[in-house]
Amino acid sequence: MSVQITATNYNGQSANVTLFSSTGNTIPYTSANTISLGVQTIPFTYSSSTISNEYGHFSCNFTSFGNTCVINQQTPPDGDGNRYDIIKIGNQIWMSENLKTTKFQDGTPLDNTGQTTNAVWAAASATGSTKYWALVNGTTANTQTYGLLYNQFAVTGSTTGATANVNLCPSGWHVPTAAEFTTLVTFLGTNTGIQAKSTTLWSSAGNGTNSSGFNGLPAGFRTDVGNLQQFSVLGRFWTTSSGILRVLLYNGVNFGSEILASSAGLSIRCLKN
């Protein structure tokens, strides 16, 4: 028999979820599949009358007295197939991880297949159109935790591929505008940086409480001439508004706003449409 779990998801609606096998395929458990007692984490997809094609994973504690499950929803896959944990803050739904795709939503690659040299990165500022990603602090091992850095030219979307001008974010998601970031900060109210920063990884006792769930990370940035700077000290996040970004600092209590050259490399958080 298949096992159906009813739980409350991020937007307060009731979601009926059917258990799938732990290998991630779409064959439901049957009477031939034994579900052991204890905690299990299983990927899922589900659809309801108001939401379809949602993704995530849930941890269930199976006991002889009943099943208790906690659902963590995720985005659809990006161009590289990555899915991201998400969080509802006010009336907005954000990724709680930094973007790490090297491809646009339709699978079109960005303009580099590996980390570029400083000179090649800097040359993008001359054309204003070359769309690059970069490794956080120059290290592949950082990608899983910190995502990648992008120049703002990449934010404008692809210019080739199956669907021209498609953006970096997964289907149904987008890079936020400056106004949408302002909505987030306004909702948080006071000590917005403390609420938005992760509880670990920040230098000099600069960790936040992450009470918002945004989980802002100190990925540093890449300057317009290619230098990698301020890893563990700050996190900068692009908006779609030219040169405008949001910044978290290790020694700051607010989620600030800045302006940088669009050829700089910053983190990206996507927002649900």
List the domain boundaries for the chain: 4-74, 91-272
Task: Give me the phi and psi of 187, to 5 degrees please.
Answer: -65, -40
For residue 271, pLDDT beyond 50: yes
Looking at residue 126, what DSSP letter applies? H
pLDDT at 242 over 70: yes
State the pairing for strand pair 133-135/148-150: antiparallel
Which three-class secondary structure state does DSSP give residue 179? helix
CA distance readout (Å), 115 to 59, 110, 222: 36, 11, 11
- Which is more confidently placed, 216 or 10? 216
Confidence check: pLDDT of 60 > 70 = no
- pLDDT in the model for residue 48: 39
Above 70 in pLDDT, residue 144? yes
Tell me what the mean pLDDT of segment 54-67 comes to.
59
DSSP 3-state of 73 = strand
- pLDDT in the model for residue 74: 80
For residues 54-79, average pLDDT: 66
pLDDT confidence bin for 44, thresholds 50/70/90: low
pLDDT surpassing 70 at residue 42: no
pLDDT above 50 for 24: no
Of residues 53 and 197, more confidently modeled: 197
- What pLDDT was estimated at residue 10? 39
What was the pLDDT predicted at 15? 41
**CA 99: distance to chain centroid?**
5
Residue 43: partners with Cβ closer than 8 Å, 6 or more residues away: 20, 24, 55, 56, 57
Q: What is the rounded distance in angstroms from the CA atom of residue 56 to the CA atom of residue 203?
A: 31
Please tell me the pTM assigned to this model: 0.81
